[in-house]
A and B are shown apart, each in its own frame.
Chain A
């Protein structure tokens, strides 16, 4: 039995990790590291908005961005996802919940544009519900 693979796209699974867990790593983290560090490396103290924070790429990207000292904002589409991500990453600066529908999304984003410069807030975490 043999396997074909691309050189430098495989890693040895740490002994403490199951193959099931390890399977969640290569595609998402490779994408995140390529995006974050290759051309214009992210750096501590900067801020980042990561969309779909509860997806594979989203979860990995938040972890890496927080570890490298960035302020992280993210978006999620459902209440359970929001709860999950708040529990996992309490350091998040903001979680925006939106509904997976074009009508609500467009309303959300017009809100992005409108509230913008008129209001300031000193709250640590703001969670906006726009699915009413």
Chain B
């Protein structure tokens, strides 16, 4: 079909997300000097074989893993600028989407796996982004300590200091300095320090 429509020449680019025999067939659709842009992961992760004969057309196979951008700040900046430009110009437009409520996430995934969707499947987290009442996740205030930081408790061997040390440790602190004039003097202090 592709070869028919292009009068046997094949296409210059293929943006491929298909796998296995369908990948191989897409690969054959490339014309002279074409570029295969592979955004699927299945065959790459499975270390599948590729028919080298196709490279006689001087084609190029490029894997594109956009998730790698997270680790590539320079590349990310360039891509960001390009998207920004076309977003402002109006070239980039939103896609068709199907919305599921956040508590209906199972059905959202089932719908996605049937492949009947057009565009994106979205989860609605909040009804109204301006209202705190629609926050879906109950937030429990809890202090979290950094295990790499050192916490100093002045008078830390006192009753309150030892309790406070316990409180810090339960919240993730791993390095605590307890200051004291006299050092450990009671059995209870020794027991708690242990």
Question: Contact residues of A with B, CB < 8 Å?
Answer: 6-9, 11, 14, 17, 19-40, 42, 46-52, 54-61, 63-64, 67, 70, 73, 77-78, 80-81, 84, 93-94, 96, 100, 102, 105-106, 108-109, 111-113, 115-117, 119-121, 126, 128
Contact (Cβ within 8 A) B119 A54? yes
Is the CB–CB distance between B76 and A40 below 8 Å?
no
Cα separation A32 to B120 with both chains bound (whole Å): 15
Residue numbers in B under 8 Å from A14 (CB-CB): 87-88
A-B contact count (CB 8 A): 199
**DSSP class of B's interface residues: helix, strand, loop or mixed?**
mixed
Question: Are B119 and A56 in contact, CB atoms less than 8 angstroms apart?
Answer: yes
Asked whether B84 lies within 8 Å of A39 as measured between CB atoms, the reply is: no
A56 contact set on B, CB distance < 8 A = 95, 119-120
Give the number of residues in B that approach A within 8 Å (Cβ atoms): 63
Contacts of A40 in B (CB 8 A): 35, 60, 62
Q: Which residue of B lies closest to A127 (CB)?
A: B1
Q: Evaluate contact between B21 and A105: CB separation under 8 angstroms.
A: yes
Closest Cβ–Cβ distance, residue A129 to chain B (whole Å): 11
A64→B129 contact, CB < 8 A: no
Chain A residues with CB below 8 A from B11, complex form: 46-49, 73
Whether, in the assembled complex, B115 has its beta carbon less than 8 Å from a beta carbon of chain A, the answer is yes
Query: What per-residue 1/0 map shows which CB atoms of B89-104 lie under 8 Å from chain A?
Result: 0011111110100000
Q: Which residues of A contact B77 (CB under 8 A)?
A: 8
B5 and A57: CB pair below 8 A?
A: no
| B2→A94 contact, CB < 8 A | yes
Contact A35 B39 (CB under 8 A): yes
Q: Is the CB of B66 within 8 A of A31?
A: yes
Q: Which residues of B contact A128 (CB under 8 A)?
A: 1
CB distance B5 to A24 under 8 Å?
A: no
- Does B4 have its Cβ within 8 Å of any Cβ on chain A? yes
